[in-house]
Amino acid sequence: MGVRQEFITVNNYRIRLLEDGAGSKHIILLHGIGAAAERWAKVIPLLAVKGYHVIAPDIIGFGYSDKPDVNYTMDFFTSFVRNLALTLGIRRFSLIGSSLGGQIAAEFAIAYGNSDVLNSLVLVTPSGMSIEPTQAFTQYVMAALYPNLESARRAFMLMHCGKPVDEVYLRDFVNRMMLPNAKYAFISTLMGMRQAASSLKERLHNIKVPTLIIWSERDLLIPVDHAYEFHRRISNSQLIIMDGCGHTPFYEQPERFVELVTTFLESVLASYYSYS
């Protein structure tokens, strides 16, 4: 079918999303802070070809979705994900989140994972384990709040461990961060992330759905040490450390990432139907 862009209304907010594929195996992809749905552009068609219906929104407050004057708390974001699924008529789905999106996904699993909503969870280098930012993350925050091509290039090269960065994506990042209310949403989200992180560690045991944790061995934004803590605290979890990439393994090694994720998702579905 091909990747298509849509604008929908979720709780009176205009939300942009990318969508590909069809059928009943739904996946919702959640990007990181300051990012947009395009961050998943390399994996969306690969997942669709494997038979999945893939939805990647610009999370409210980011990208080209509305940026209302609200407090961007984890409760606000988890409600957004639930209302997005309801608006799209999706009853059950798998949730994949990266960085901020991973923290939102974990909070969503805590809030809704015991209901008939979530099939499985994939956390990709999620935030939420520590309230103290790394130097690389601080560089990224500064690039978002004072956007220009050079600051963005420096931040993204740290994110990608010195590898070349797509110039088109850099320009889009700068343009998006200059949109009205973009910086407010970014700062408010940072505060919400920090507030939730103070207790997330103690609540991860409430995640009961099958969970895959993917981390990068060379992640400079969120250290790989955090991966083991997530894995230890989520009982029904698997951990995979990907070699040779930085904070966004799905962007840097999309084929390998999709192979790992779909193997996990299919094993969960097989177990579900076997149990049923």
Q: What is the pLDDT of residues 117-149, one digit of tens each?
A: 999 999 999 999 987 889 999 999 999 999 999
What does the alpha-carbon distance between residue 202 and residue 58 come to, in Å, rounded to a whole number? 29
> What are the pLDDT digits (tens) for 228-257?
999 999 999 999 999 989 999 999 999 999
CB half-sphere exposure, 265, CA atoms < 13 A: 24
Per DSSP, the three-state class of 178 is coil
Structure tokens at 205: 């045991």
For the entire predicted model, the pTM comes to 0.96
* Average pLDDT along the chain: 94
CATH topology of domain 4-275: Rossmann fold (3.40.50)
User: What local confidence, expressed as pLDDT, does residue 132 receive?
Assistant: 82
Biggest distance spanned by C-alpha atoms of the chain: 54
- The angle, 0 to 180 degrees and rounded to 10, between the axes of the packed helices 135-145 and 167-177 is 60
What does the alpha-carbon distance between residue 249 and residue 242 come to, in Å, rounded to a whole number? 7
What does the alpha-carbon distance between residue 41 and residue 43 come to, in Å, rounded to a whole number? 6
User: What local confidence, expressed as pLDDT, does residue 270 receive?
Assistant: 80
Distances (CA, A) of 105 to 3, 64, 193, 251: 23, 21, 12, 19
User: What local confidence, expressed as pLDDT, does residue 165 receive?
Assistant: 81
User: What local confidence, expressed as pLDDT, does residue 206 receive?
Assistant: 95
Residue where the block lists tokens 């069809």: 22
Q: Please report which residue ranges of 50-181 form alpha helices under DSSP H.
A: 74-88, 100-112, 135-145, 149-159, 167-177
What does the alpha-carbon distance between residue 72 and residue 211 come to, in Å, rounded to a whole number? 25
User: What local confidence, expressed as pLDDT, does residue 273 receive?
Assistant: 54
Kindly give the parts of the chain with pLDDT less than 50: 275-276
